């Protein structure tokens, strides 16, 4: 079967659970199916789950994070992700050393070594044990009391190291402040376990089944794994995937899906405009090294800042056409859209209709600016 670049948006919408009907039944099942969801914006990632699971509410996602069914921590690249609680330990065992390697130069700058990290980890456990949920600043106060010097840079490194060592994870938010809790108290069961080779295979399979069509380079970028490891992971599942070449690049996707029927359904006139208000850092855009199939390069600077902050994006029929922001006013969220080009602008009625799901998810009134 031959594909073109124009087919990629419809396929990615489907495999990312944005248009297909066969969706996971809970937030934790979705996170497991997708491998991980980038969660740099702690609030927006709730909607990354909600936009894929129509029956889910913000309260139910928060409950999953509170119970340990979901965990927000550093597992890849490195940045925050949400993963299923049962997956967090094997994923950190697979990717943790690569996250640490990315910060080696910062550690040398701040005179940090393995012995200091060991002392800090012990102090962090003592500060949090017994079900305490503390902000980073509060944890650092405990370290200072134990004679461990801290500053803003050291605080980031201490906590990220504790995350990648599977010691801490997200605690209960305190207003707009994030807290940390002990992973062993939040997720007392150890979850599934894999050998390194098995973990590479599982991570590759989850990525390519939920992010297709994607390239090896995309998986390498998303996972933060060294290219040799990414290649091993892909090779181990290649028999489960269909390979296709589009404009000189090799893409992979599940081989057990009626792709032609999927594309036909997407392009039927009765489907109309498929409008999505996606959250900041959504997997639909952030999880590929090459995003041009769904997002024209000339618009990148309007949606992605120089320091890598992905704004919430407006997607129409699989193409990124603008960005949006929300402002809270009492019990109302005001949505302000911005389109890259006037020809891409949508009517207020179309946007309002597409935001009904967001309103239900939030449990607040949503109005357009």
Question: Taking 70 as the threshold, does the pLDDT of residue 118 lie above it?
Answer: yes
Spatial separation of the C-alpha atoms in residues 43 and 38, rounded to whole Å: 11
pLDDT of residue 270: 37
Q: What is the mean pLDDT of residues 174-185?
A: 95
Domains in the chain with CATH codes: 5-9+195-261 (1.10.10.10), 21-186 (1.10.10.10), 272-368 (no CATH)
Q: Which long-range contacts (CB under 8 A, 24 or more apart) does 120-126 make?
A: 120/148, 120/158, 120/161, 120/162, 121/161, 121/162, 121/165, 121/167, 123/148, 124/158, 124/159, 124/162, 124/167, 124/168, 124/180, 125/167, 125/182
Provide the mean pLDDT of the chain: 93
Task: Supply the Cα-derived Rg of the chain in whole angstroms.
Answer: 21
Question: So what's the pLDDT on residue 273?
Answer: 64
Interatomic CA distance for residues 108 and 101, integer angstroms: 12
Q: For the chain, give the percent of residues with pLDDT over 90.
A: 86
Nearest Cα residue to 222 out of 79, 96, 13, 93: 79
For β-strands 79-84 and 37-38, DSSP reports them as antiparallel
The mean pLDDT value for 88-93 works out to: 96
- For the stretch 263-314, pLDDT in tens is 766 654 334 468 999 999 999 999 999 999 999 999 999 999 988 899 999 9
Strands 249-254 and 37-38, bridge-based pairing: unpaired
Overall average pLDDT of the 36-57 stretch: 96
Q: Mean pLDDT, to the nearest integer, of 81-102?
A: 95
Task: Tell me what the mean pLDDT of segment 218-225 comes to.
Answer: 97
């Amino acid at each position: 079967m031959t594909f073109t670049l124009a087919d990629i948006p419809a396929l990615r919408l489907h495999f990312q659970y944005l248009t297909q009907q066969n969706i996971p039944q809970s937030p934790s099942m979705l996170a497991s199916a997708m491998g991980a969801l980038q969660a740099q914006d702690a609030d927006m990632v709730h909607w990354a789950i909600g936009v894929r699971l129509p029956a889910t509410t913000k309260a139910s996602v928060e409950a999953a994070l509170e119970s340990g069914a979901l965990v927000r921590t550093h597992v890849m690249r490195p940045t925050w992700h949400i993963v299923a609680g049962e997956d967090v330990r094997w994923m950190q065992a697979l990717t943790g050393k690569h996250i640490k390697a990315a910060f080696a130069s910062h550690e040398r700058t701040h005179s940090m070594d393995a012995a200091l990290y060991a002392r800090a980890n012990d102090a962090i456990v003592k500060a949090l044990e017994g079900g305490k949920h503390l902000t980073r600043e509060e944890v650092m106060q405990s370290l200072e009391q134990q004679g461990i010097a801290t500053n803003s840079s050291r605080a980031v490194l201490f906590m990220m190291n504790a995350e990648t060592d599977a010691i801490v994870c997200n605690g209960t938010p305190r207003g707009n402040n994030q807290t940390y809790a002990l992973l062993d108290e939040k997720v007392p069961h150890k979850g599934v376990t894999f050998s390194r080779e098995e973990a590479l295979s599982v991570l590759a399979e989850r990525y390519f089944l939920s992010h297709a069509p994607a390239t090896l380079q995309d998986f390498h970028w998303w996972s933060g794994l060294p290219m040799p490891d990414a290649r091993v992971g892909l090779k181990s599942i290649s028999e489960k995937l269909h390979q296709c070449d589009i404009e000189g690049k090799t893409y992979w996707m599940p081989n057990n899906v009626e792709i032609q029927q999927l594309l036909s359904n997407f392009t039927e006139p009765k489907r109309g405009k498929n409008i999505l208000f996606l959250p900041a850092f959504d997997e639909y855009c952030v999880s590929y090294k090459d995003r041009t199939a769904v997002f024209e390069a000339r618009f990148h600077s309007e949606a992605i800042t120089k320091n890598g902050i992905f704004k919430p994006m407006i997607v129409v029929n699989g193409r990124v056409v603008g960005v949006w922001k929300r402002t809270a006013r009492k019990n109302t969220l005001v949505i302000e859209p911005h389109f890259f080009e006037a020809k891409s602008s949508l009517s207020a009625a179309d946007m309002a209709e597409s935001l009904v799901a967001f309103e239900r998810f939030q449990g607040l009134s949503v109005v357009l600016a």
